Copies of this chain bind each other. A is one copy, B any other.
Amino acid sequence: LYGGIEAGGTKFVCGIGTGPDDLKAESFPTTTPTETLNHAIEFFREYSDRQQLTAIGIASFGFLDLNTSSSTFGCITLTTKPGWSNTDILGIIRRALNVPVAIDTDVNGAALGEYRFGNAKDKDNFIYLTIGTGIGGGGMINGKLMHGLIHPEMGHIRIPHDREKDPYHGLCQYHNDCFEGLASGPAISKRWGKPAEELPDNHPAWELEAHYIALALTNYICILSPERIILGGGVMEKSVMLPLIREEVKKLLKDFLRKPEITENIDNYIVTPKLGKYAGVLGAIALTEEKVKTI
Protein backbone atom coordinates (compact mmCIF):
# COMPACT_ATOMS: atom_id res chain seq x y z
CA LEU A 1 0.00 0.00 0.00
CA TYR A 2 1.09 3.56 -0.71
CA GLY A 3 0.29 6.50 1.50
CA GLY A 4 0.13 10.22 0.85
CA ILE A 5 0.18 13.31 3.03
CA GLU A 6 -0.97 16.67 1.79
CA ALA A 7 0.68 18.96 4.31
CA GLY A 8 -1.06 22.33 4.05
CA GLY A 9 -0.69 25.39 6.19
CA THR A 10 -4.37 25.20 7.10
CA LYS A 11 -5.03 21.47 7.11
CA PHE A 12 -3.40 18.11 6.58
CA VAL A 13 -4.94 15.34 4.49
CA CYS A 14 -3.64 11.79 4.95
CA GLY A 15 -4.66 9.04 2.60
CA ILE A 16 -4.05 5.48 1.50
CA GLY A 17 -5.16 4.08 -1.83
CA THR A 18 -4.57 3.79 -5.52
CA GLY A 19 -6.72 6.53 -7.04
CA PRO A 20 -9.86 8.65 -6.66
CA ASP A 21 -12.11 5.58 -6.55
CA ASP A 22 -9.96 3.74 -4.04
CA LEU A 23 -8.98 6.22 -1.36
CA LYS A 24 -9.26 6.17 2.39
CA ALA A 25 -8.53 9.68 3.61
CA GLU A 26 -8.65 11.76 6.75
CA SER A 27 -8.29 15.50 7.18
CA PHE A 28 -7.36 17.51 10.28
CA PRO A 29 -6.24 21.06 11.04
CA THR A 30 -2.58 22.06 11.04
CA THR A 31 -1.58 22.96 14.60
CA THR A 32 1.94 22.51 16.03
CA PRO A 33 4.42 20.35 14.13
CA THR A 34 4.54 17.74 16.92
CA GLU A 35 0.80 17.39 17.29
CA THR A 36 0.08 17.49 13.57
CA LEU A 37 2.80 15.08 12.50
CA ASN A 38 1.86 12.69 15.32
CA HIS A 39 -1.68 12.75 14.04
CA ALA A 40 -0.42 11.87 10.57
CA ILE A 41 1.80 9.10 11.94
CA GLU A 42 -1.14 7.59 13.85
CA PHE A 43 -3.14 7.50 10.63
CA PHE A 44 -0.54 5.27 8.99
CA ARG A 45 0.55 3.31 12.08
CA GLU A 46 -1.76 0.33 11.68
CA TYR A 47 -0.58 -0.19 8.10
CA SER A 48 3.10 0.08 8.92
CA ASP A 49 2.69 -2.20 11.96
CA ARG A 50 1.20 -4.80 9.66
CA GLN A 51 4.09 -4.26 7.21
CA GLN A 52 1.56 -3.23 4.58
CA LEU A 53 2.98 0.19 3.87
CA THR A 54 5.49 0.35 1.01
CA ALA A 55 6.13 4.09 0.90
CA ILE A 56 4.70 7.51 1.70
CA GLY A 57 4.63 10.67 -0.40
CA ILE A 58 4.42 14.14 1.10
CA ALA A 59 3.16 17.22 -0.73
CA SER A 60 4.02 20.03 1.63
CA PHE A 61 3.83 23.77 2.12
CA GLY A 62 7.21 25.47 2.51
CA PHE A 63 9.82 26.72 1.44
CA LEU A 64 11.13 23.16 1.18
CA ASP A 65 14.65 21.91 0.72
CA LEU A 66 14.30 19.48 -2.19
CA ASN A 67 18.00 19.14 -2.92
CA THR A 68 18.64 15.45 -2.20
CA SER A 69 22.33 16.08 -1.51
CA SER A 70 21.65 18.80 1.08
CA SER A 71 21.89 18.16 4.82
CA THR A 72 18.42 19.68 5.25
CA PHE A 73 16.79 17.72 2.41
CA GLY A 74 13.12 17.14 3.14
CA CYS A 75 12.84 19.98 5.67
CA ILE A 76 10.42 22.86 5.71
CA THR A 77 13.18 25.46 5.87
CA LEU A 78 11.35 28.74 6.24
CA THR A 79 7.68 29.52 6.50
CA THR A 80 5.39 32.21 7.81
CA LYS A 81 3.44 29.49 9.66
CA PRO A 82 4.53 29.95 13.30
CA GLY A 83 6.61 27.09 14.70
CA TRP A 84 7.08 25.29 11.40
CA SER A 85 10.36 26.76 10.13
CA ASN A 86 13.15 24.15 10.23
CA THR A 87 10.82 21.16 10.56
CA ASP A 88 12.30 17.93 9.22
CA ILE A 89 8.95 16.71 7.95
CA LEU A 90 10.40 13.96 5.75
CA GLY A 91 12.77 12.69 8.45
CA ILE A 92 10.16 12.63 11.20
CA ILE A 93 7.70 10.64 9.08
CA ARG A 94 10.37 8.28 7.81
CA ARG A 95 11.80 7.50 11.22
CA ALA A 96 8.39 7.03 12.83
CA LEU A 97 7.02 4.68 10.18
CA ASN A 98 10.25 3.22 8.86
CA VAL A 99 9.30 3.42 5.18
CA PRO A 100 10.79 5.31 2.23
CA VAL A 101 9.35 8.81 1.93
CA ALA A 102 9.14 11.05 -1.13
CA ILE A 103 8.53 14.79 -0.94
CA ASP A 104 7.62 17.70 -3.18
CA THR A 105 5.74 20.99 -2.90
CA ASP A 106 2.01 21.05 -2.15
CA VAL A 107 1.31 22.45 -5.61
CA ASN A 108 3.51 19.98 -7.43
CA GLY A 109 1.66 17.30 -5.50
CA ALA A 110 -1.70 18.60 -6.63
CA ALA A 111 -0.34 18.95 -10.16
CA LEU A 112 0.82 15.33 -10.15
CA GLY A 113 -2.57 14.23 -8.85
CA GLU A 114 -4.30 15.96 -11.74
CA TYR A 115 -1.74 14.52 -14.15
CA ARG A 116 -2.28 10.98 -13.00
CA PHE A 117 -6.00 11.00 -12.29
CA GLY A 118 -7.54 14.32 -13.30
CA ASN A 119 -7.62 17.22 -15.73
CA ALA A 120 -4.01 17.16 -16.88
CA LYS A 121 -3.97 13.54 -17.97
CA ASP A 122 -2.68 14.01 -21.51
CA LYS A 123 -0.52 17.08 -20.85
CA ASP A 124 3.25 17.03 -20.41
CA ASN A 125 3.37 20.82 -20.06
CA PHE A 126 0.87 22.36 -17.70
CA ILE A 127 0.54 24.59 -14.66
CA TYR A 128 -1.41 24.03 -11.47
CA LEU A 129 -2.10 27.25 -9.58
CA THR A 130 -3.83 27.54 -6.24
CA ILE A 131 -5.35 30.84 -5.13
CA GLY A 132 -6.22 30.63 -1.46
CA THR A 133 -4.58 31.89 1.72
CA GLY A 134 -1.47 32.17 -0.41
CA ILE A 135 -0.88 31.77 -4.13
CA GLY A 136 1.34 28.93 -5.27
CA GLY A 137 2.07 27.24 -8.55
CA GLY A 138 3.64 24.07 -9.81
CA GLY A 139 3.24 21.76 -12.72
CA MET A 140 5.07 19.81 -15.34
CA ILE A 141 7.43 20.72 -18.13
CA ASN A 142 8.54 18.12 -20.62
CA GLY A 143 6.68 15.55 -18.52
CA LYS A 144 8.61 16.29 -15.32
CA LEU A 145 7.57 18.19 -12.21
CA MET A 146 8.96 21.72 -12.09
CA HIS A 147 12.12 22.15 -10.07
CA GLY A 148 15.27 24.19 -10.24
CA LEU A 149 17.50 26.11 -7.89
CA ILE A 150 14.68 25.83 -5.36
CA HIS A 151 11.11 25.31 -6.53
CA PRO A 152 8.64 27.63 -8.23
CA GLU A 153 7.22 30.44 -6.11
CA MET A 154 4.88 31.63 -8.83
CA GLY A 155 2.72 33.66 -6.48
CA HIS A 156 5.44 36.23 -5.96
CA ILE A 157 5.82 37.62 -9.47
CA ARG A 158 5.47 41.37 -9.93
CA ILE A 159 2.51 42.44 -12.06
CA PRO A 160 1.24 45.89 -13.05
CA HIS A 161 -0.61 47.55 -10.16
CA ASP A 162 -2.57 50.66 -11.05
CA ARG A 163 -2.74 52.50 -7.74
CA GLU A 164 -5.40 54.89 -8.97
CA LYS A 165 -7.79 52.09 -9.74
CA ASP A 166 -6.68 50.01 -6.75
CA PRO A 167 -4.99 51.95 -3.95
CA TYR A 168 -4.64 48.82 -1.80
CA HIS A 169 -0.93 48.43 -1.09
CA GLY A 170 -0.85 44.64 -0.93
CA LEU A 171 0.04 42.30 1.92
CA CYS A 172 3.04 40.23 0.88
CA GLN A 173 5.50 40.46 3.72
CA TYR A 174 8.38 40.41 1.23
CA HIS A 175 7.11 42.48 -1.68
CA ASN A 176 3.84 44.14 -0.65
CA ASP A 177 2.11 44.25 -4.05
CA CYS A 178 3.35 41.14 -5.82
CA PHE A 179 0.63 38.88 -7.29
CA GLU A 180 0.02 37.08 -3.99
CA GLY A 181 0.13 40.39 -2.13
CA LEU A 182 -2.66 41.75 -4.34
CA ALA A 183 -4.77 38.72 -5.13
CA SER A 184 -4.69 36.08 -2.37
CA GLY A 185 -7.89 35.44 -0.42
CA PRO A 186 -6.71 37.52 2.56
CA ALA A 187 -5.78 40.38 0.18
CA ILE A 188 -9.35 40.43 -1.14
CA SER A 189 -10.71 40.38 2.39
CA LYS A 190 -8.44 43.21 3.58
CA ARG A 191 -9.04 45.37 0.51
CA TRP A 192 -12.81 45.25 0.79
CA GLY A 193 -13.13 44.86 4.57
CA LYS A 194 -15.09 41.62 4.42
CA PRO A 195 -14.24 37.91 4.08
CA ALA A 196 -13.85 37.16 0.37
CA GLU A 197 -16.52 34.47 0.44
CA GLU A 198 -19.09 37.01 1.65
CA LEU A 199 -18.67 39.46 -1.23
CA PRO A 200 -21.61 39.15 -3.64
CA ASP A 201 -21.15 37.99 -7.23
CA ASN A 202 -21.69 41.48 -8.64
CA HIS A 203 -19.11 43.11 -6.35
CA PRO A 204 -16.28 44.94 -8.18
CA ALA A 205 -13.81 42.79 -6.24
CA TRP A 206 -14.20 39.95 -8.72
CA GLU A 207 -13.43 41.89 -11.85
CA LEU A 208 -10.27 43.29 -10.24
CA GLU A 209 -9.33 39.85 -8.94
CA ALA A 210 -9.82 38.31 -12.39
CA HIS A 211 -7.65 41.06 -13.85
CA TYR A 212 -4.76 40.28 -11.52
CA ILE A 213 -5.07 36.54 -12.04
CA ALA A 214 -5.20 37.03 -15.81
CA LEU A 215 -2.08 39.22 -15.72
CA ALA A 216 -0.25 36.45 -13.90
CA LEU A 217 -1.57 33.75 -16.23
CA THR A 218 -0.52 35.63 -19.36
CA ASN A 219 2.96 35.97 -17.86
CA TYR A 220 3.07 32.24 -17.17
CA ILE A 221 1.86 31.61 -20.72
CA CYS A 222 4.58 33.82 -22.22
CA ILE A 223 7.28 32.19 -20.14
CA LEU A 224 6.23 28.55 -20.06
CA SER A 225 3.83 28.10 -22.96
CA PRO A 226 1.75 25.56 -21.01
CA GLU A 227 -0.76 23.33 -22.77
CA ARG A 228 -3.26 23.76 -19.94
CA ILE A 229 -3.72 25.79 -16.75
CA ILE A 230 -5.57 24.36 -13.75
CA LEU A 231 -6.83 26.84 -11.16
CA GLY A 232 -7.65 25.65 -7.66
CA GLY A 233 -7.89 27.09 -4.14
CA GLY A 234 -10.59 28.75 -2.08
CA VAL A 235 -10.91 31.90 -4.19
CA MET A 236 -11.80 29.82 -7.26
CA GLU A 237 -14.87 28.53 -5.43
CA LYS A 238 -16.47 31.85 -6.34
CA SER A 239 -18.14 30.66 -9.52
CA VAL A 240 -18.07 34.02 -11.29
CA MET A 241 -14.27 33.92 -11.32
CA LEU A 242 -13.50 31.33 -13.98
CA PRO A 243 -15.41 32.98 -16.86
CA LEU A 244 -14.08 36.42 -15.90
CA ILE A 245 -10.51 35.12 -15.91
CA ARG A 246 -10.90 33.41 -19.29
CA GLU A 247 -12.23 36.59 -20.87
CA GLU A 248 -9.52 38.75 -19.36
CA VAL A 249 -6.70 36.43 -20.48
CA LYS A 250 -7.94 36.66 -24.06
CA LYS A 251 -8.15 40.44 -23.76
CA LEU A 252 -4.63 40.75 -22.37
CA LEU A 253 -3.03 38.49 -24.95
CA LYS A 254 -4.72 40.51 -27.70
CA ASP A 255 -3.66 39.21 -31.08
CA PHE A 256 -0.56 37.69 -29.57
CA LEU A 257 -0.21 33.88 -29.70
CA ARG A 258 -3.03 33.06 -32.06
CA LYS A 259 -3.36 29.46 -31.03
CA PRO A 260 -6.84 27.97 -31.37
CA GLU A 261 -6.28 26.20 -28.04
CA ILE A 262 -6.48 29.66 -26.48
CA THR A 263 -8.46 31.82 -28.88
CA GLU A 264 -11.20 29.33 -29.68
CA ASN A 265 -11.16 26.84 -26.88
CA ILE A 266 -10.17 28.68 -23.73
CA ASP A 267 -12.82 26.81 -21.70
CA ASN A 268 -10.68 23.78 -22.23
CA TYR A 269 -7.42 25.64 -21.63
CA ILE A 270 -8.08 27.29 -18.27
CA VAL A 271 -9.92 24.78 -16.09
CA THR A 272 -10.55 23.79 -12.49
CA PRO A 273 -9.09 20.67 -10.83
CA LYS A 274 -11.00 17.46 -11.39
CA LEU A 275 -10.02 15.93 -8.07
CA GLY A 276 -11.08 18.90 -5.96
CA LYS A 277 -9.80 18.67 -2.43
CA TYR A 278 -8.21 15.26 -3.02
CA ALA A 279 -5.77 16.39 -5.73
CA GLY A 280 -3.03 16.97 -3.16
CA VAL A 281 -3.24 13.69 -1.30
CA LEU A 282 -3.63 11.66 -4.50
CA GLY A 283 -0.63 13.46 -5.93
CA ALA A 284 1.29 12.75 -2.76
CA ILE A 285 0.53 9.06 -3.19
CA ALA A 286 1.64 9.26 -6.82
CA LEU A 287 4.89 10.92 -5.72
CA THR A 288 5.98 7.62 -4.21
CA GLU A 289 6.10 6.04 -7.65
CA GLU A 290 7.86 9.01 -9.22
CA LYS A 291 10.47 9.40 -6.56
CA VAL A 292 10.96 6.62 -4.11
CA LYS A 293 13.41 4.89 -6.39
CA THR A 294 15.68 7.93 -6.23
CA ILE A 295 15.80 8.30 -2.44
Contact = CB atoms under 8 A, between A and B. Distances in A.
Given A125-B147, A158-B218, A256 B153 contact: yes
A50 to B, nearest CB: 37
A258 B157 contact: no
Contact of A259 (B149, B160, B255): B149
Contacts of A261: 149
Contacts of A141: 141-142, 144, 146, 148
Interface of A: 78, 125, 137, 141-142, 144, 146-161, 174-175, 215, 218-227, 252-259, 261-262
A252 B153 CA distance: 14
Specify the main secondary structure of chain A where it touches its partner: loop
Copies in the complex: 2
Contacts of A256: 153, 156, 174-175
A137 B174 contact: no
Given A146-B141, A160-B158, A222 B125 contact: no
A254 B224 contact: no
